[in-house]
Amino acid sequence: MIDSTGKMPGRGAYLHKQRSCWERGMKGALERALKTDLTPEDLVRLAEYAASFPEESSRSPAEIGVGSQTM
């Protein structure tokens, strides 16, 4: 689940607003950080979201949280 506020409960990981950072995360780093398996649907949703970011980083490294909610 993407959490642009970074305040949702549960385990989370932060990624820069940079497409290459998200692409690296989807290759396994997110699964390790979140201690969970990402489904193919999760990966599609994350890839679609990442496509809205620039390829290279901007001067201000804003971050977005991604997390696995615990209930």
pLDDT of residue 57: 55
Query: Quick one: pLDDT at residue 31?
Result: 93
pTM over 0.85: no
Q: State residue 10's pLDDT score.
A: 84
Give the range of the structural domain holding residue 32, as residue numbers without chain letter.
2-68
Q: Give the C-alpha separation, 41 to 6, whole Å.
A: 22
Tell me how many domains the chain contains.
1
From first to last of the 71 residues of the chain, give the pLDDT tens digit.
Answer: 888 887 888 888 888 888 888 888 999 999 999 899 999 999 999 999 999 888 765 544 455 666 665 43
